[in-house]
Amino acid sequence: MIIKVVDSPAIPGGKGLVALDDAGEYLPMQVACTLEQEIGEEIRVQITFRVDGRKVRLASE
């Protein structure tokens, strides 16, 4: 998985984060991406997806 900074005029500051698969394709149904960074700690990214039942589905075993 790749987290990329992209131009986004809809976001204040004009930049945003998106999640991509290893081939560089956008992961579907992303609605939010939050980055947390603290001195001396690993970077944490939280991605929120909309579950629409088609492109993104919940599965159980």
Between vectors from CA 47 to CA 43 and to CA 48, what angle results, nearest 5°? 155
pLDDT in tens, 6-45: 998 888 888 889 999 999 999 999 998 899 999 999 999 9
Between vectors from CA 37 to CA 13 and to CA 48, what angle results, nearest 5°? 70
Q: What is the pLDDT of residue 9?
A: 84
pTM of the model as a whole:
0.72
SS3 49: strand
Single out the residue of 26, 23, 30 nearest to residue 48, CA to CA: 30
Q: What is the SS3 assignment for 22-41?
A: CCCCECCCEEEEEEECCCCC
Q: What is the pLDDT of residue 52?
A: 92
